[in-house]
Amino acid sequence: MTTSSYIPPKVWQFDNENGGAFAGINRPTAGARSQTTLPRGQHALQLYSLATPNGIKVTVMLEELLELGFDAADYDAWLIDIRSGAQFGSDFVAINPNSKIPALLDYSSNPPTRLFESGSILLYLAEKFGVLLGNTSAERTEILNWLFWQMGSAPFVGGGFGHFYVYAPEKYQYPIDRYAMETKRQLDVLERQLAQQPFIAGHSYSIADVAIWPWYGQLVLGQLYNAAEFLAVHEYPQLQAWAARIAARPAVQRGFRVNRNWGPEELQLPERHSRSDF
Domain assignment present for 178: yes
d(CA 83, CA 67): 32
Q: Is residue 122 part of a domain?
A: no
Averaged pLDDT for residues 9-24:
83
- 211 is in which domain, residue-wise? 137-257
Number of separate domains in the chain: 1
Rounded to whole angstroms, how far apart are CA atoms 87 and 94?
10
In a domain, 88, yes or no: no
Q: Three-state SS across the chain?
A: CCCCCCCCCCCCCCCCCCCCCCCCCCCCCCCCCECCCCCCCCCCEEEEECCCHHHHHHHHHHHHHHHCCCHHHCEEEEECCCCCCHHHEHHHHHHCCCCCCCEEEECCCCCCEEEECHHHHHHHHHHHHCCCCCCCHHHHHHHHHHHHHHHHHHHHHHHHHHHHHHHCCCCCHHHHHHHHHHHHHHHHHHHHHHCCCCECCECCCCHHHHHHHHHHHHHHCCCCCCCCCCCCHHHCHHHHHHHHHHHCCHHHHHHHHCCCCCCCCCCCCCCCCCCCCC
Whether residue 34 lies inside any domain: the answer is no
**Residue 66 falls inside a structural domain:** no
- How do residues 128-179 score in pLDDT, each as one tens digit? 999 999 999 999 999 999 999 999 999 999 999 999 999 999 999 999 999 9
Q: Does residue 232 form part of some domain?
A: yes
Residue 273 pLDDT > 90, yes or no?
Answer: no
Alpha-carbon span 16 to 106, nearest angstrom: 36
Banded pLDDT at 3 (limits 50, 70, 90): low
Contacts of 90 (CB under 8 A, 6+ apart): 32, 34, 35, 36
Beta carbons within 8 Å of 211's beta carbon, 6+ residues apart? 57, 118, 119, 122, 146, 147, 150, 151
pLDDT tens digit sequence for 48-67: 999 999 999 999 999 999 99
Mean pLDDT score across all residues of the chain: 92
State yes or no: pLDDT of 255 exceeds 60.
yes
* Residue 198: CATH number of its domain: 1.20.1050.10
Band (5; pLDDT cuts 50, 70, 90): confident
Beta-carbon count within 10 A of 75 CB: 26
**pLDDT score of 101 more than 60:** yes
**Helices 137-155 and 118-129: crossing angle, nearest 10°?**
160
The answer as to whether 187 is a domain residue is yes
Beta-bridge mates of residue 77: 47
- Residue 179, in any domain of the structure: yes
pLDDT exceeds cutoff 90 at 274: no
Asked if omega into 111 is within 30° of 0 (cis), the reply is yes
User: What's the rounded mean pLDDT across residues 236-252?
Assistant: 98
268 contacts 274 by C-beta, under 8 angstroms: no
pTM value > 0.75: yes
132, 206 in Cβ contact below 8 A? yes
What is the pLDDT at residue 2? 57
